[in-house]
Structure 1
Amino acid sequence: MTDPQITLYRLQACPYCERVVRTLDRLGLEYRSRYVEPMHSERNVVKRVSGARSVPAIVDRNTGVTMSESANIVEYLEGTYEDAGAAGGA
């Protein structure tokens, strides 16, 4: 089995992170969770990959996209992957 191409940087019990998790699960996407430091000032791993310390943040190696902000991530995931599963059918 290969490593998941999507990495989600998240906090424990973060409602915005959970929104992204629900979207990933609904779309059937494999992903790796990386839990980050609760202290905003210590989230250097997130800052290195996304340029900001906010979570959730994702890195999608399939497309080369890195982004944060849950609404943007959900919109991106749905736009990129929602129709991918249905594309072979019609």
Structure 2
Amino acid sequence: MSSLTLYRLQACPFCERVVKVLQNLNLSYQSRFVLPMHSDRSVVKRITGARTVPVLIDDQTGAVVAESDTIVTYLQKTYGDR
């Protein structure tokens, strides 16, 4: 089972950027697709306090990371030198 969970929206360019980095780093992850309407994204709001995606949860480190730039930086620093 993967320790990484990515909350994402289908066809979201910011989410796809994170997916590409996960794949380039050869990391296993679980996708959780959220509803398109911001008002329907209560699961993401409970996690981060906001309804925006992408959001990455890393069970191994306990990190909850939001916004694609921040997630990419986190992934590269945490898993890039393996």
In the superposition, the TM-score normalised over structure 1's length comes to 0.88
- State the alpha-carbon separation in 1 of the partners of residues 22 and 60 from structure 2: 14
The CA RMSD over aligned residues, in Å, is 0.6
Gaps of 5+ in 1: 86-90
Structure 1: which 4+ aligned runs deviate by more than 6 Å? Answer: none
Please state whether the residue corresponding to 1:62 is helix, strand or coil. Answer: coil
1:15-50 CA deviation, whole Å, 9 max, x = no partner?
A: 000000000000011000000010001100111122
Gaps of 5+ in 2: none
- The aligned amino acid for 1:62 is Q
Which protein shows a greater Rg? 1
Aligned residues: 82
46, 49, 52: which is aligned to 1:51? Answer: 49
- Identical aligned pairs, as a percentage? 57
